[in-house]
Structure 1
Amino acid sequence: TSTLDLDYSCANMVPTDYDTDLESAWSNLNLFSGGNDFSTETIERNRNIYYQKQLANQINSQVTQMISLLTSSLNIHLNIGQKSIINTSQSFVSLETISIQSLKDKLVKQVENAQFNIPSSFILNSTSNSSISLRSRVDPLASFGNFQNTNLSRSISLSIIDQNGNEVSFQANGNNSIKLIIPRDPNLVIPSMYLQTVTSINSTINNLLFNYHYINITSSLPISIHFEIHSLNTNLSYLFIYKFDQTPLLNSSINIIDGWTLFCPFNLTNDDIYRYFIDNQQTPGHQSLIFGIRELNSTEINNYCLNSSSINTSLPITSEPFNFTSNYELRIYTSGCYYLDENNNWKSDGLIVGSLTNHYETECLSTHLTSFAGGFIVLPEPINWSYVFANADFLKNKTIYLTIICISIAYIILMIFGRFKDRKDIEKLGVTPLPDNDKSDQYYYQIIVFTGQRANSGTQSKVHFILSSDNDETRVRTFSDPHRKIFQRSGIDSFIMSVPKKIH
């Protein structure tokens, strides 16, 4: 805390060259404003983040340069089969010299179960036919970059160095990818599962076939979605369906779903939890996901979940509502696989989240080598649409409906009143031709009258006037406007007067 406070103070103090360097980022308030928020608190907070990122990038660059120098020094002293390890609280670096032939199916293990599993087929752009060096690195905290989902992940990297100390390009096939395990912060606290009291919902009355849940999956980078379902009765089986951006529908006449699976007791893990995941190749371009769950009846259990040796791959379909006999618990989290590009921004091109991803590590499939990190967010409790629909009648929610109706009526009245006032304001802005203008007149004058702000400054009387000069004057003219009141307090009225000749 004291370090962050010191950084905050240093970032916001006036620099010594402020008067001479007017183009510096420190003085550019548009860079630190939160949109249109130019408050001192926002400016100082964003300025602190800006300079902390600059300092972090500078430190990361220095560490990378130092590791490159160490690699060059150690590389010439390591023979095939020898390894050198630097393990500190801030970084783990391993340098190992191997033959090119032994790179196939090579498992490179790091600290905290971080690892790279090299495939059997790949393209290695190296002129050497004898030996190469593997430099692996683990940092305790991934760079923030442009994506905050990596803030719980370790950063891991693997580089292949030739005998001259140069990095070698590595490319794997899409069907035979590099498998990575990226650990998370071991101090991460996983929220408990949310209890879904579905036994209180009468599906027969409300004609509901599934218990629906809605989740928001909007993200700037592709994410995978992981579902964990724990039934309070482990002997039950479930049908799970989902659809992106709309409600999935499944009965004897309608089949509108993007995917489905069956949860049978023989699928249960040691912790009695059903697990299902949607990889990051299916989620791009979608903002939401709605999934439905229902219990299988006894006939369906016998047909689909009796044993694991005779699995029925067809989809159980029914049009009959079925009430839940037991509640279940639910937890949903998202993950992702990202690599750091040359601009220190996280990208996900060509990376796939693997099925071994769990709370404490992310499995990634990649075709290239660089610095990687995994994303992780436990989503809040999803909206239970089935409960909403089952309890949406007026008699159960009189207060809510009456409040909404009253607010809507008040909003409509205020909107009509505001529109009426807008039209009056537009009328006040207009320029009024005097009613006694003659169409044959060829000269025009604009007269603007300002009415004072004091009490009783306005008048409802007809006001007549004569406009005179040294040599001429008009006849008696009248200020009048048939469409609006004129000469009101604090008002500005504009008129057009026509005359047959110039007034000199």
Structure 2
Amino acid sequence: MCVPNLEFQLLNPTTQVALFTICIGTCTNLESIKWNIYQGSDNSTSSNSTQWTLFNQTSSYENIWFFGTNTSNFTATDELFLNNLQISLWRFEVVYTFQSETSTSALNFIINQPPSNGSCSINPLNGTITTLFTIECPYWFDVDGIRDYSLYTWVTDISKRIMIAFSTEYNFQVRLPAGDNKTSLLNFVIYVRDFLNSITQVNISSVNVIRDFAIINDLIDKVKTSSSTITNNPIVRLLSSGNQNIVGQMIISLSQVFNQMSNENLDKAISNGISAVNISVSLLGSQRLQQISMPLNESALINYNIELNSLANVRDYLVTFLTNLLITTSNSIILQSSSLAQLTQATNQLTRNTLMLVSNRCYELSAALYAMFEKISYEDAQSASNQLFQCASNILNGVNGPLQGRTDVLDLDYSRANTMPTDYDTDLESAWSNTSNSS
């Protein structure tokens, strides 16, 4: 993201530069276009007193760091800046060569230095999904001021990291999703961001987080029986707080547990001869399910449907806690859209009510993102958009599954569709029921 500074454009090192040129006037005799990259030799804020040196690795990184060096559209990726952090001044010059003359134009950039001199830590190093962990990031400094701190987690693949919390304070508390199935290990990175969106990424110690099945099973049972004591469940008390960080953390944690349970239930059903194409729709990019050829086990199908409907009922209950959260910043949109994408991952467990509420919420988040996209960083807009696209894809699969005969109609949907409205008069002796008296 660039911010104008008269002679220099302020540039964050984690952002790519995309430039384009237009030839004005008579351009029929144009022979070539060439982009040159220069590095500044001092920290002067005036381009007139800066000594510029041609960057001599342009050809070595053609189509790696640099794209379109001989076209009107040129791009330099963030790798250029991240691999040359010692260079704070850059110039990008375009040269138009005609038959009888040349014409040049250039833009100068100064790197917005990211926050520095701080550290981050987490405590304790072991717990469950309801344990309160403390994050501390003291002593960070930036001339533009520190905007916020964002916590991302992942299990084994960092490309699948998910935002779990954000705060404007350097110390804050979080509840974490469960770690790896075998080791319970959860990995972290913290983004420390200044007010001009320059970011320093800080890796902190991994922690062991396990599932609290006693509390989770209590929640499932009370949702199933519509128990009036469900508000006594510790998870429900947290969800009822209305705090978007707390709600987002618990929804992501629970969704990941339920998604794992759903996958195990699906694998068990397939191993008992139930056709995968009749009970599920795979997510885009997921691995193909291996079908085992064997006689259908009727009792396995019954057990599968019981587990399926039980988890669908819980998702239907959980989604209500997401629909009225405040939408404040880009971090708010990322966290809420991530929660929705996780909650709707098992598309064969989405009731009509869940689909309707999630669809409305995704629309509200998309509208909020559109309203602020010119004021936020490209990375934030991309992250939020990816989660919203995944949410929309899940909704589409959830709607089409029963319509295409790929998944069964859920018990809760069937029950709601066949329940008489509370104001519907079924008294056959009522005058309203005697149509012969009407005139």
Which structure has the larger Rg over C-alpha atoms?
1
Q: Same fold (TM over 0.5)?
A: no
TM-score w.r.t. length of structure 2: 0.26
TM-score w.r.t. length of structure 1: 0.24
Q: Which has the higher contact order (CA 8 A, sep 6+)?
A: 1
